[in-house]
Amino acid sequence: MRKKSIFSLFGALLLLSCSPREFLTRRLAADLISGSDPFKTPQQYVLQTGIVSNKDYASPESQTLQHHGWISATTVACPAGLIPPPCWDILLTPSGVETVRALVPDEEAVRPSFSIPVARREFVSVTGIAKQGNLADVEFTWKWNPLNEIGAALYATDMRFQSVVGFRDYDDGWRIVRARSASGSGQALDEAIKNAEPIP
């Protein structure tokens, strides 16, 4: 009986001496991903007014804003030699001014282009961990959580994305890699988010 209690005590002490980052579990990976700056940073949309190229005018984002009645556009002459025709003059509509006014400081709103925070990433789950020595690839899913009307128009809340991020086991435990290694393994989180694949 005494031997059993000694082994139990030894096992408990061994567990207490382990760092919480010593084992790459799904929970640890989820906490590190969802708590990291690249994941938590809000998505910005740059709203461009004034004279723009046809490519900018025809972008899905620009068309969405026009469909919602936040911007209007008319054809204009292109600046000589700067933009190939056709060109468009984009203006905020009265509805667009009201919508934008609540989202950006007044001094920003009068500029020809300004950034609007439109959505945050919401972590869904870790779907797999592939380890090889002190390296690992963690596959996870996430979705957009719009912050305002413009975000809701630009980002579908029912669409989910899949990303794969690299982890490395350091002397103080597992951490997300900051940059792809020379061997080409393990992509950093900002790269993983940028290369996300939509889940059908």
**What are the structural domain ranges in the chain?**
22-41+120-199, 50-111
**pLDDT above 90 (res 14):** no
Give the global pTM: 0.81
Helix or strand or coil: residue 9?
helix
Give pLDDT, residue 16. 43
Please name which of 24, 45, 42 lies closest in space to residue 165, comparing C-alpha atoms.
Answer: 24
Over range 114-127, report the average pLDDT.
96
Tens of pLDDT, residues 36-59: 999 999 999 999 999 999 999 999
CB atoms within 10 A of CB 12: 10
Tens of pLDDT, residues 176-198: 998 876 555 689 999 999 999 99
**DSSP secondary structure string for all residues of 28-59:** HHHHHHHTSHHHHSPEEEEEE-EEEEHHHHTS
